[in-house]
Structure 1
Amino acid sequence: MRKITLILFFLPLLFSSCQYFDKQVPSEKELLQKELKAINWKEVDEFPSIAGCEKIEDKTLRQQCFFEYMTQLIQQKLSVDTLSILYPELDTIEVKVTVYPNSRIMFEPLFPKDSVAYDTIKIDSILKARLVGFPKINPAIKRGIPVKTQFILPVILKVE
């Protein structure tokens, strides 16, 4: 009697446990698509940085330190130039900064749509000639991989 009770007790467990083996395992492509949708491609985990800002722990303050440093350095390099003499009405210029994964930097001036008053080619060549010799910049990081980032800095040419 005892054996029959044990068999009757374990018999339903045997048949019901088979349902756990019938579950479908998601394919590699489905898992990849799910993970890619979960990633926010518009933001990076760590912004570009320089050695002077690396010691700052707070992410926002480190980003602010980097942007302030870059703006001041660009203003300093452009302040000794004839840009303000050639174009006295030009007091601020927006510069698009691109930091590549290999730490290379590229600068591109952005002009308003109605910028026929300025010789954009001449201003671009002056900026490219002046904006050289920057310290090493650590690129932005996304999921542990260096990535390209772009941002726009307003650079004041006339400080009064």
Structure 2
Amino acid sequence: MKHYYFFLLFILIASCQYFEKQVPSEKELLQKELKAINWKEVDEYPSFTDCDKLEDKIQRKQCFFEYLTQLIQEKLQVDTLSVLYPELDTIEVKVTVFPDSRMQFEPQFPKDSAAYDTIKIDSILHARLVDFPKVNPAIKQGIPVKTQFILPVIIKVE
């Protein structure tokens, strides 16, 4: 029985080192986790239903951008934009995908855009760039997030 008490006393003394360790505070843990997150990159890019079938992240991203560019070009192709402004061959469109799956389009004009009627072009784009298929928003840490990117759209003259 004495050996049992001696063994119990030894374990008690040896385990005291575990009680002396300081536990990091909640704020320290939060700051450490926030620093570990890459805020410039999303875990999953926005995607259309057709692109969700692809397994590779890079292929899904490429599919999304190609499909969106194609849709925008098709919607602008039926308009008089290329007739009104034949010198305008490419428009940069700032696309915003919101967490609730809404999309917003804003044309980005070059600094020398005095030759264009930017208000008219903007109104044509807003009138044409509607009724897009449902888009799944980007995902960061399991949460849908807002993403923005600039998409160059070529206006085809036919």
Deviation string for 1:101-147 (max 9, x for gaps)? 00000000011111111111111110000000101001011111110
Q: Report the equivalent of 1:56.
A: 54
- Contact 2:48–2:136, Cα closer than 8 Å, also in 1: yes
Taking only the aligned residue pairs, the percentage that are identical comes to 78
> Which secondary structure state, in structure 1, belongs to the residue aligned with residue 111 of structure 2?
coil
Superposed structure 1 runs of 4+ greater than 6 Å apart: none
> Which secondary structure state, in structure 2, belongs to the residue aligned with residue 54 of structure 1?
helix
| Aligned mate of 1:21, from 19, 22, 29 | 19
Structure number with bigger Rg: 1
Q: How does 1:69-108 map to 2 (within 5 A)?
A: 69-108=67-106
Structure 2: which 5+ runs fail to align? Answer: none
Aligned residues: 157
Structure 1: which 5+ runs fail to align? Answer: none
TM-score by length of 2: 0.92
TM-score by length of 1: 0.91
* RMSD between aligned residues: 1.8
Letter in 1 for 2:122: D
- Contact 2:82–2:157, Cα closer than 8 Å, also in 1: no
Cα drift, residue 13 of structure 1: 5.0
